[in-house]
Structure 1
Amino acid sequence: MNNHNRHNRLPLRLSTLAFAIISTMAYSEGYGISSANRDSLKLDGWKCQRCAVTTGTHGQIGIGAAHNDGEDSRFGNTTGTDKDGVVASLEANVTHQNETGYRTRFKADKLGYENGSAALTTGKPGQYAITAAYRGITHYDTNQALTPYTTQNGRWQLPQQWQAGATTAQMSELNASSVATELKIARDRYRLNGAYRGDFYKAEIDYQHEQRQGQRTASANLLTNSTMLAQRIDDSTDELNAKLYLSGDNWLAGIDAGLSHYSNDEQSLHWQSAFTPTFGAAYFGQSSVAPDNKAYRIAGSTQFSDAGQQVLMHIGFTRMTQDQAYLPATINGPSPMLPSANLDGQVDIIEMKLNYSGRITRELSLRASYDYRDRDNKTEINSYPQIVTDSYYAGNAANPEYDRTKQQVNIAAKYRIAPAAYIDVGYEYDHNNYSDLDRQSLQELTLFGKFNYRVSSQWQLWLKAQASDRSGSSYQAVNTTSSPSNPLLRKSYLADRERQRYALYTSYSGDSYNISANAHWMQDDYTDTLIGLTNVETQGYDLSAQYTINDNLNLNAFLNQDWRDSDQAGSSNYATPNWYSSSEEQSTLIGAGINYANLMDKKLNLGLDYTYADGQSDTQVVQGLRSPYGSDFSTKHNINAFADYRVSERVGLRFDWIYEQYQDADWANQGLTLDTLPNVLSFGDLSHDYGAHYFGLTLSYQL
């Protein structure tokens, strides 16, 4: 579709959509099971004749050994570990239950990998349970980031023989001193949970400790010179939550409270400059990191239900505080006086919710809700010195409040006319009040409608349409910063916007197969924006199918494609628009799999899955001449195969093979060397291009 046609389509107005929704009310769905009269049912005589309780110990436990190709650490996001070579793991799913009903269960999945987990639960089902769990969560970015820096006493230092330069090309020791470093963040999450259920109440307490360690990309700046650093991550979060719920005939009430404490063992990002000072004596730099902070929360909820009607009420209060001591305003030259020793920050949040849902007639049901959320920043407003890149004093500025009050109203109705069709229509109103933003208030009106039709017992489809209109108070660009915005600029999250969204879904289920498909389209039109994001259009579809050839052989496949086109306008002279850009993004995901069971006298199960993922973005800027950006794409092929062989009645052997081929490119990074940019000391080219294998062997024993 060309841009001229796309920009000149008339948007669907709210009134038009409302008329279209109302006009479809002649077609609707039948009566659901929720409307059936169950008062006369006699349940006392219903007994399970085959509900025998299995006692003793059963399940399986396994020991795994795998060879992993960790040459490119990104492959670890697929396999669960970036270790190059042999990796051992524990797999388990074991349950023990005695004759009195007490049960203990232990589960482990790849325990020994950085992305592994284990959980031990004991108790009496339906009465109480105690759980102790561990989970490792690691994200691998790259292990090929080049840097001459090493950490000494928590500070980033350069080699003793380092020769500083005005540009990267003048740093004679740059290439010889740079070594590859790893960028990844590993989380170790420990959890202890206890729950008890009485006749009319339920109590639960949960404690979680999460430790993060690793390194991530950080930019360290001194005036016009910038250095990429592998910032150390070493922090922890402790959370304690408790709940108590009481229940009776047609009602439920509860209270829950929580505490959270974040602690950062890193006090600052302190580095030695690789550049000769632009002026003065800025040989070192320092910037702050995330400070220690705490949060407290208490909330209460009640629910009442009777005769198909249900009311839910909720109120909660949260307080967040921060009182960590300030760093000096600068370490280069005399530091201006700070107004206080620490922020002594406090933010209070009040939230209230009221929800109603009920069946008015056999055909009509209604639902309504009101949500209120108020964020009140009670931190004292002071005048703080503004230090530009830890180099020079640029005056004072007050800390903004950024208060926000949000109110949201939702009203919807579901109407059944025919046994196989229904419509669902609704109205949403979202109102926000802000402080210290370019707009003081913002409101959005939304109408939506959904038509659902069951063509047969096997085939169903639905169509959903939605239109919304966002507007607000007069736009006044904030001018309290050192670099104020162009008065014509409209920030996308505050700008006037008209949105249309449509979705179509259908599925068909046969005796041995099922097929589903959906398509979606959305357009955002920023009607009053001269500079900023002006238009966004997204569309896509999904197809999936599963076919069971027989009891042993199963096939599946899926296809997903999405497109996103966006336009924006800008100004290079702080005036009216004089340049324009358009971005076209697309993604494709294709997959297919086969599972074959009970081969070789029912001893062997085989499985094979293949996925292909491709994403790319093309951006062009027009300012007199058309200037396309370079390559920006990622492509992945993944094959995942297994063979599970039953050696004996109790002993099993499983073989896993994963092959992944991955390549990406970013025009802003591709082909970059350490000295490509004269005033930026980078990590070099961080793109990926690898083909890697994973071979795993697991020996399991059936208890």
Structure 2
Amino acid sequence: MRIAKTSTPSACFSVTLLAWAISGVLSQAHAEGYEVQKANRNSIKTEAWSCKQCQPKTGHIGSVSATLAYNDGEDSRFGNMTGTDKDGLVGAVGADMQYKTPTGYQTQLVIDNLGYDASSAKLTTGRPGNYQINLAYRGLATYNYNQLKSPYVAEQDKMLLPDNWVSGSTTQTMPMLQSSLVNQDLSLQRDRFTLGGYYAGKMSSNSQYKASLSYQHEDRSGAKKTSANILTNSVMLAQSIDDSSDQVDASVYFSGMGWQAGINSQVNQYKNDHQALQWQSAYTPTFGAAYIGQNAVDPDNKAYRVAAEAAGGANGHNVLMHAGFSRMSQDETFIPATINGPSPVLPVDNLDGQVDILEMILKYSGRITQNFSVQASYNYQDRDNKTDKLDFPQVVTDSFHQGTAQNSLYDKQTNKFELKGKYRFTSSAYAEAGYIRDENDYTELDRQSVDEYGVFAKLSYRYSPTWSVWLKGEALERDGSEYDPVATTQSPSNPWLRKSYLADRKRQKVTLHTDYQSDIGLSLGASLHSVDDDYHHTSVGLTQVSYIGYDMSAQYALSNDLSLNAYLNQDWRDSDQAGSNRFSTPDWYSTSEEKSTLIGAGIVYQNLFDNHLDIGLDYSYSDGQSDTDVTYGITSPYGDYYARKHNVNAYAKYKFAQSMSLRVDWLFEKYQDANWQNQNTTWDTVPNVLSFGDMSHDYNAHYLGLTLSYQM
């Protein structure tokens, strides 16, 4: 986009000098005990301050573009980088256009890669700061697998086998399995549409208001991995996703000299086009005639939220208050408890579920002295599940009735306090310290209350205008009420087991960071971080986690046209766990060692060949791996579990004329991963599991795109 010149050096210097002089006068008045908002400004001729050469350009400006590319979409996962999983030629359009009038009216259209699954378009019109209307579209896509195979085909709410399918007692005895395999595509596409706007005005010379309203509709389509089983025989399925959500947001805010207050609200409704997931069993029934299974899917539901906020401050003291109420509800009709034989009678036709959430936030910040300031906050949240507690029949995998069980109502109440102070010793050194306490009360969990509390401190020092360093340490401890495993479930926990999110824990965390920024275009940054978690009262469960890592980055502008950048990040995470096969004290142990590495570098060179050519190149490498050993009499290591990726992103942009340019983009990705759980498996490796086989990725993929742009 062509950038209009804003001002000459002499004009900008004059405005800067005038602003500096006014600032000095106002600072002196405040020092003498006068508040700025009480000053008499009626006689000031502000029109003389305007920069005549700083007026925004009016009329039409902007650019349009068209892209034609070749995309290697053999493995759809590469589409997470390019924005499309289509194989072969693909096309997209883009634009960034703007129209302004001398009266301040402005219309802008921004389009990015429209034609790809990951794309966006937004049209905005109005007078910025007064009123504005916008219409937007955004496409989001996540690609997981497109090379998996299964004999199942989706048809509305059903997963069907071929008409000539011959069942077997195991996967190895299914004669039609190999010949019936078809590709399964596990991906998710989201299409989001938004219509909204705002209107702002003045109530008086010192107060104004702003009201906004927006509506958003989102459709989701695709498929996700799920599993289903009848007794001990199971299958992996590509469950179809076809749902939508509608959301309305509205708010009105009022503000004045040193204060702001308002109300905001939100209404959301979710609808699922699928009522249930039925699937044909590929196995010969163990007993009876259970040839079809049925799984529940996400039910329709809705939620609304309303909140009020107020903030104000004066003389270095500020207060923020927030209060909100949310309600989530679901009344979708239940599916039968089983479709194999007579279904037990359900206590009600639908759940009539309701969860209310009440929240409150109070924050204060203030400068006590010139060098000392404090901040304090209190967060309260109460989650109240008001759903009726009923006796529901328990049907095991659509096969046999096994009594009744009550639905659990999980409530939670949270009180979180934080207090911190900051003291500045000199203009280049300060210290910060604080105390945190997080209290949580639960119902129907193994612990009724869990509290976490601790302290932190930070010391920062700027050695010179170009170099600074800071060190931060934290010490947190978590404990709570007596551990009493829930006994209402049909699968009670080992009384020696401590779940990691509820267990007592001592945490120590240290971070050291430094950065350097010179006046010759060089900037450097580095940090070292360490975390140690000790679950000191756990016999069975996660007992210890240690984490250490570092990262470094550098940017260097050799000239106005040439710049370099590089970064390096590495992390190590080790964890220990104890388990029990005897429903008692530990009799087996495991250790996991995880390591991640991220390396990258890039170069940008502009205005080559008499300002006609810009080029850029970015490379990154990432490697994540995990090694796990289990000791149960003897030590047995797990297999491979890793993911490695090389990325290259190169471009060249050549300007034929002032208004036309051609850009070439080349993307390359080399990716490989492995998971010991399914590595080198096929569809019939496990006799009672009809799986997708080996779900690992191993590909080299390219994207080559040509983009022609025209500047208006």
Instruction: Give the match for residue 492 of structure 2.
Output: 484
Instruction: Tell me the CA shift for residue 446 of structure 1.
Output: 1.6
Task: Identify the match of residue 182 of structure 2 among 152, 174, 179.
Answer: 179
How many angstroms apart in 2 are the aligned matches of 1:639 and 1:304? 50
Quote the Cα distance in structure 1 between the aligned partners of 2:185 and 2:155: 17
- Which segment drifts farther, 80-89 or 35-44? 35-44
SS of alignment partner, residue 54 of structure 2: coil
Counterpart in the other structure of 2:159? 156
CA distance in 2, matches of 1:675, 1:146: 12
Q: Residue in 2 aligned with 1:11? A: none
* Structure 2 residue matching 1:169: 3-state secondary structure: helix
1:312 paired with 2:346, answer: no
Consecutive unaligned residues of structure 1, counting only runs of 5 or more, are 1-32
Residue 399 of structure 1, CA deviation: 0.9
Q: What's the CA shift for 1:512? A: 1.7
1:461 aligns with 2:452: no
* Cα contact 2:468–2:515 (8 A) shared by 1: yes
Match of residue 53, structure 1, among 56, 65, 68: 56
The secondary structure found in structure 1 opposite 2:553 is strand
| Structure 1 partner of 2:336 | 328
Q: Structure 1: which amino acid aligns with 2:30?
A: D
- 1:617-652: CA deviations, max 9, x gaps? 000100010000000111111110000000111111
Query: 1:406 aligned to 2:397?
Result: no
Query: Within 5 Å, which residues of 2 pair with 1:332-481?
Result: 332-481=340-489
Q: TM-score scaled by structure 1? A: 0.94
Q: 1:297 to 1:437 in 2, by over 3 A?
A: same
CA contact (8 A) 1:465 1:502 kept: yes
Q: 3-state DSSP class of the match of 2:693? A: coil
Letter paired with 1:132: L
- Output the CA distance in 2 between the equivalents of 1:646 and 1:183: 41
**One-letter amino acid matched to 1:546:** Q
Question: Shift of the alpha carbon at 1:47?
Answer: 3.2
* Corresponding residue of 2:528: 519
Give the Cα–Cα distance (whole angstroms) in 2 for the partners of residues 508 and 50 of structure 1: 37
Q: What SS does the aligned partner of 2:179 have? A: helix
**Which digits, 9 at most, give the CA deviation of each residue in 1:424-458, with x for residues without a partner?**
10101100110000000010112000111111000
For 2:133, the equivalent position in structure 1 comes to 130
Secondary structure of the residue aligned to 1:647 is: strand
Q: What amino acid does structure 2 have at the position aligned with 1:76? A: G
Separation in structure 1 between the aligned mates of residue 334 and residue 402 of structure 2, nearest angstrom? 19
- 2:173 matched residue in structure 1: 170
Q: Which amino acid aligns with 2:233?
A: N
CA contact (8 A) 1:653 1:697 kept: yes
Q: Which has the higher contact order (CA 8 A, sep 6+)?
A: 1
Alpha-carbon distance in 2 for matches of 1:517, 1:36: 38
CA contact (8 A) 1:287 1:390 kept: no
| Conserved? CA contact 1:211–1:234, under 8 Å | yes
Work out the CA distance in 2 between the residues paired with 1:184 and 1:75: 12
SS at match of 1:78: helix
Structure 2 equivalent of residue 543 of structure 1 = 552
Deviation at 1:249, TM superposition (A): 2.3
TM-fit CA distance, 1:334: 1.4
Question: Post-superposition shift, 1:38?
Answer: 7.2
Q: Distance in 2 between matches of 1:38 and 1:501?
A: 46
Moved more, 221-230 or 145-154: 145-154
- From 615, 620, 637, the counterpart of 2:646: 637
Distance of aligned partners of 1:172 and 1:55 in 2 relative to their CA distance in 1, 3 Å threshold: same
| 1:675 is the counterpart of 2:684 | yes
1:111 to 114, 117, 136: 114
Secondary structure of residue in 1 paired with 2:686: coil
CA-CA distance at 1:46 after TM superposition: 4.2
Q: Distance in 2 between matches of 1:680 and 1:578?
A: 29
Alignment-mate amino acid for residue 401 of structure 1: L
Tell me which residue corresponds to 2:102: 99
44-53 or 633-642: which moved more?
Answer: 44-53
Distance 1:99 1:550 in 2: 38
Cα displacement (A) at 1:482: 1.3
Deviates more, 1:487-496 or 1:96-105: 96-105
1:39 maps to 2:20: no
Among 593, 599, 605, which residue is 2:602 paired with? 593
Q: Which amino acid aligns with 2:272?
A: N
In structure 1, give the amino acid aligned to 2:122.
A
Evaluate the alpha carbon distance shift between residue 626 and residue 36 of structure 1 in structure 2; reply closer, same or farther with a 3 A threshold: farther
Write the distance in 1 (CA, Å) between the matches of 2:674 and 2:28.
Answer: 62
1:221 aligns with 2:224: no
How far 1:340 sits from its partner (Å)?
0.2
The CA distance in 1 between the partners of 2:427 and 2:68, in whole Å, is 56
CA drift of 1:392 comes to 1.5
The answer (yes or no) to whether the contact 2:157–2:274 under 8 Å persists in 1 is yes
Which residue type is aligned with residue 342 of structure 1? N
Kindly state the Cα deviation for residue 132 of structure 1 after the two structures are TM-superposed: 0.6
Residues 169 and 675, structure 1, Cα contact 8 Å, conserved in 2:
yes
Matches of 1:159 and 1:397, distance apart in 2: 37
Q: Does the 8 A contact of 2:378 with 2:417 survive in 1? A: yes
Please state whether the residue corresponding to 2:218 is helix, strand or coil. strand
Superposed, which structure 2 residues align to 1:575-590 within 5 Å? 575-590=584-599
SS of 1:387's equivalent in the other structure is strand
Tell me the secondary structure at the aligned position of residue 669 of structure 2.
strand
Q: Distance in 1 between matches of 2:489 and 2:28?
A: 65
Letter in 2 for 1:502: V
Out of 287, 290, 293, the position equivalent to 1:285 is: 293
More divergent stretch after superposition (387-396 vs 428-437):
387-396
Runs of 4+ in 1 over 6 A off after TM superposition: 35-38, 40-43
Task: Give the letter for the 1:426 counterpart.
Answer: G
Task: Name the structure 1 match of 2:7.
Answer: none
The aligned counterpart of 1:664 is 673
Q: Aligned with 1:677: secondary structure?
A: coil
- What does residue 5 of structure 1 align with? none
Query: Could you tell me which amino acid in structure 2 is paired with residue 121 of structure 1?
Result: T
How much does 1:49 deviate?
A: 4.2
Deviations 1:270-310 (A, max 9, x none): 10000111222111000100000010111100111110100
Percent of aligned pairs with the same amino acid: 54
Cα–Cα, structure 1 residues 528 and 596, in superposed 2: closer, same or farther, change >3 Å? same
Distance 1:485 1:390 in 2: 25
Deviation at 1:59, TM superposition (A): 1.0
- Select which of 242, 247, 253 maps to 1:245: 253
SS in 2 for 1:198: strand
SS in 1 for 2:657: coil
Correspondence for 1:21: none
1:366-410 alpha-carbon deviations (Å, 9 max, x no partner) = 110111100011111111111222221121111111011000011
How far apart are the structure 2 equivalents of 1:243 and 1:236?
Answer: 24
Cα separation, 1, equivalents of 2:265 and 2:51: 39
Q: Quick check: 1:616 aligned with 2:625?
A: yes
Counterpart for residue 4 of structure 1: none
1:653 to 662, 666, 673: 662
Residue 688 (str. 1) matches residue 697 (str. 2): yes
- 1:245 and 1:38 map into 2 onto residues whose CA distance is 31
CA drift of 1:53 comes to 2.0
Cα distance, 1:525–1:198 mapped onto 2, change above 3 Å = same
Separation of aligned partners in 1, 2:654 and 2:175: 60
In the alignment, is the contact (CA less than 8 A) between 2:154 and 2:240 conserved in 1? no
The DSSP-based 3-state class of the residue aligned with 1:261 is strand
User: Alpha-carbon deviation of 1:36?
Assistant: 7.0
- Gap regions ≥5 residues in structure 2: 1-23, 203-207
Whichever residue aligns with residue 91 of structure 2, its letter is A
CA distance in 1: counterparts of 2:73 and 2:615, whole angstroms: 26
Paired residues of 1:64 and 1:90 also in contact (CA < 8 A): yes
Matched residue SS, 1:176: helix
Letter in 2 for 1:519: L
